[in-house]
Structure 1
Amino acid sequence: MNLSVVILAAGSGTRMKSDTPKVLHKICGEELLFYSIECALELSDDVHIILYHQADKIRQVCEQRFPSTLSFHIQDHANFPGTGGALLQDKKLLSTKYPKLLILNGDMPLITPSSLTPFFSNSPISMGVIHSSNPFGYGRVILKEGRVQKIIEEKDATQDEKEVCTINSGIYCFDRDVLESYLPKLSNQNAQKEYYLTDVIKFASQDEISISSIDVSEEEFSGINDKSQLAQAQEIMLNRLRKKAMKDGVIMHLPHTIYLEKSVRFEGECEIEQGVQLLGKTLIQNSHIKAHSVIRDSQIISSDIGPMAHIRPKCRIENSHIGNFVEVKNSHLSGIKAGHLSYLGDSEIGEGSNIGAGVITCNYDGKTKHKTLIGKNVFVGSDCQLIAPLKLADHTLIGAGSTVRKDSKEGDLVISRSDQKNIADGFFMFFKEKK
């Protein structure tokens, strides 16, 4: 498509009350700005990001995620503040590849390429208009006989104009020559002392240039200005992700209680119970994730997890049963059973092995993490401590309550316990009671 996209991301986002730049706050595990960038890249090969507040930090994060695909510009905020000033470089419109410019905002994660399609008309200007029941805080779109006359910011609006419920979405598509004609005419004589991009609409209307007003969804096109709106947007995105997963064949119990991030993938027959959290780059394939389990940055293949299990990053679990209150981290488990109450960190466990209740792989010595390697058909009794680095050969049996420090050989029975002593009347000696 012969279209350049400009994403406005220069604002300080003071209403977020955070040291994190507004556009780097996340919903469903992904930065707000990334949603706009992904949408833009589906529409154009010429995407420009306008930065100012914490520009270096935002650019660094973007370049890690989108290497060599974006053009960055720093707004001359001292001389040209505001949305109109964002498009100016050396008092001229920033250089773009194509003669049409789609203007997006970095705090609108819910827009989609399909919802932007109506903006690509033959009109010199297209803009999004929202019919809102609560227009407070937004610029009002003043219409006359169905034609856009101007957009007035709330701080500059009269009381009558504040009663208007037609608000500006902040999304525009301009012919480049329109911007080149009117940007130099912008003035900062207003309540915020800024150069408003919306004044281009006013000047174009006065010159009877055609302006297409596109009715758009308030849910999809509203920007995010505070933490409350951030939470609302995340809930909308969660509903989208859940519905997509279920349409793709995933069974979800009480879907509104399930949290999943944008990078989570499902393959095959999957069942997700209530209260589950699926985070990061997680793959669930032909598996059953039981209630209130948490899985992050891991692969779960042909296995059942939980309830109330915690699978931390860098795990690959296949053909296994991981029960309640089991925590796994940075481990490869294949064809095993760990029924309950165990910690398996930095481990590899082979097919047919059984991990009893209360088993701990003691992987950290205070300085370094060490691996526990457990072979096939190993039976680890309850309440054992496996002191890494450790290698247990195939067909090893570990007696319950053992602290294991030495590697085993195939077929070994390993028992490490102190002798039990039964002292007659010891209870009464301790508590000073009579029989």
Structure 2
Amino acid sequence: MNQVSIIILSAGFGTRMKSKIPKVLHKICGKEMLFCIIDEARKLSDDLHIILYNEAGLIKEKIDSIYQNINIHIQNHDEFPGTAGALMKGFGENKKSLIDTKYQNILILSGDMPLIQASMLKNFIRNDCDITMGILELEDASGYGRVIMKEDKVLGIVEEKDADEKTKAINLANAGIYYFKKEILEKYLPMLESNNNQNEYYLTDIIGHAFINNCKILGVSAKESEFIGVNSKLDLAKAESFMLKLLREKAMRDGVIFRIPDSTYIEFDVEFIGECEIESNCVLRRGAKIIESKILANSVIEDSIVENSTIGPFARIRPKSHIKDSHIGNFVEVKASILNDVKAGHLSYLGDSNIDSGTNIGAGVITCNYDGIKKHKTIIGKNVFVGSDTQLIAPLEIESNVLIAAGSSVSKNAQDGDLVISRTKQSNKQGFYYKFFKDKK
């Protein structure tokens, strides 16, 4: 671990998201933006601080459900609004003093920058300067604070709301990542005033104070794909596109074949083992584990294990399923089931089931697992042939070596070797067609 404390600013209202969900809890690739940042920060430091205000209770509850040993601070927004106000204790005699941190070096991140990587953040942690800050060179820097530079030195930062037209024409944007010597923050935080258009305490004003006092300030440049900030749902989609590219590229480097990679949606923590192939338009959600398998086009895998099997096309594997040595065909849905060496070629629903080797599931077979109050199990043994259009009404146990006739509704257990038939007797009325359609004889 580095000798650095990390502060993540997550107190904003996120009004441009136009959502009831707090901005930092919006997800990219299945993970909350704030949690993307926490996971990278924890690779660098054991002293994490998160500043909250808007929806603080909800966000804290989410954090506490997953993480331990994270310091949560609630900003005194009424007295000390703004990014610098978030760093102030906001109570006691020295309200503008810095919140307590473990180390003498402090890295400040924003809770709406989900693409930052620990490997990039290491470039900020330097002993040869007082401040380092992230800089984006953009064609259009609208929405960002502008960085004023002379040669390679940072002179100051102007927030867009306070910028004149000349300043707005600058294409160097403030990325919102800062590394400070603690003594810099302790010295200049108490000097800050909120005499600006927003009546807020700006963290960026510290850069100006530091420059005037001949502090050494360096910029760390990065691509938008690393430093993008999310302020709207358009930004959210853009950030997710960048993250999807990273996740797919990692999987391909590890040996996965993607057919039309850009068409596949993949979430964090999807695991591939061995040689796997993913055809176009597939959705692989968190918790999916694909082992030596092929996922055909337009299929969905959710929090399940697929091992040495083929899935799809147009199949859906819902959570808590384990499919091994099996073929799951088109328009088959599997949920919370264990299938071992099973064929289910098409148009079936298998929910809350255990199905053993050699069993064939015909077209249109469904497990009736829900009675309106609770779910029930269907257990099927080895070498069972389930005919098309069969309803298996749980709770139900079918032993091995059973033949179930097509069109049956099965509600009673079957023993080894049984033929199961549940149909009404067929009746053919000769000549009825011509009697009914008299003019067609």
Shorter-chain TM band? over 0.9
Q: Does 1:277 find its partner at 2:278? A: no
What runs of 5+ residues in structure 1 fail to find an aligned partner? none
Matched residue of 2:226: which SS?
A: helix
- Corresponding residue of 2:325: 319
Distance 1:428 1:139, change over 3 A: same
- Corresponding residue of 1:388: 394
- Corresponding residue of 1:240: 246
Separation in 2, partners of 1:8, 1:269: 41
- Corresponding residue of 1:404: 410
Matched residue of 1:269: which SS?
A: coil
What amino acid is the match of 2:88?
L
Separation in 2, partners of 1:215, 1:363: 57
Map of 1:173-184 to 2, 5 A cutoff? Answer: 173-184=179-190
Q: CA deviation at 1:432?
A: 5.2
Separation in 2, partners of 1:312, 1:431: 48
Matched residue of 1:386: which SS?
A: strand
Matched residue of 2:83: which SS?
A: helix
Separation in 2, partners of 1:11, 1:348: 49
Q: Does 1:47 find its partner at 2:48? A: yes
Separation in 1, partners of 2:202, 2:399: 72
- Corresponding residue of 1:258: 264
Separation in 2, partners of 1:284, 1:8: 37
Q: Does 1:378 find its partner at 2:379? A: no
Q: CA deviation at 1:421?
A: 0.7
Matched residue of 1:78: which SS?
A: coil
Kept in 1, the 8 Å contact 2:228–2:239? The answer is no
Q: Does 1:201 find its partner at 2:227? A: no
Q: Which moved more, 1:119-128 or 1:419-428?
A: 419-428
What amino acid is the match of 2:86?
A
What amino acid is the match of 1:274?
S
Distance 1:423 1:102, change over 3 A: same
- Corresponding residue of 1:9: 10
Separation in 1, partners of 2:57, 2:417: 59
Aligned sequence identity (%): 54
Map of 1:90-239 to 2, 5 A cutoff? Answer: 90=91, 91=95, 92-122=97-127, 123-239=129-245
Distance 1:187 1:429, change over 3 A: farther
Deviations 1:271-317 (A, max 9, x none): 11111111121100011111100110100011110111011111000
Q: Does 1:72 find its partner at 2:90? A: no
Q: CA deviation at 1:53?
A: 0.5
Q: CA deviation at 1:218?
A: 2.3
Map of 1:277-426 to 2, 5 A cutoff? Answer: 277-426=283-432
Give me the CA root mean square deviation.
1.0
Q: CA deviation at 1:220?
A: 1.1
Deviations 1:244-294 (A, max 9, x none): 101100111011101110111000111111111111211000111111001
Q: Displaced runs of 4+ in structure 1, greater than 6 A?
A: none
Deviations 1:145-203 (A, max 9, x none): 43211111111112211111111111000011100100011111111111000000000
What amino acid is the match of 1:236?
F
Separation in 2, partners of 1:186, 1:77: 15
Separation in 2, partners of 1:146, 1:4: 27
Deviations 1:73-93 (A, max 9, x none): 000000000000000012121
Distance 1:145 1:358, change over 3 A: closer
Kept in 1, the 8 Å contact 2:152–2:218? The answer is no
Separation in 2, partners of 1:175, 1:222: 25
- Corresponding residue of 1:31: 32
Separation in 2, partners of 1:155, 1:268: 52
What amino acid is the match of 2:290?
I
What amino acid is the match of 1:14?
T
Distance 1:394 1:185, change over 3 A: same
What amino acid is the match of 2:49?
H
Kept in 1, the 8 Å contact 2:75–2:85? The answer is yes
- Normalised by the length of structure 1, the TM-score is 0.98
Q: CA deviation at 1:119?
A: 0.8
Distance 1:401 1:145, change over 3 A: closer
- Normalised by the length of structure 2, the TM-score is 0.97
Deviations 1:59-114 (A, max 9, x none): 11111121x23110000000000000000012121001000000001111111111
Separation in 2, partners of 1:430, 1:343: 38
Separation in 2, partners of 1:113, 1:289: 32
Distance 1:421 1:103, change over 3 A: same
What amino acid is the match of 2:21?
T
Q: CA deviation at 1:430?
A: 4.1
What runs of 5+ residues in structure 2 fail to find an aligned partner? none
Deviations 1:307-341 (A, max 9, x none): 11011111000011111110100100001111111
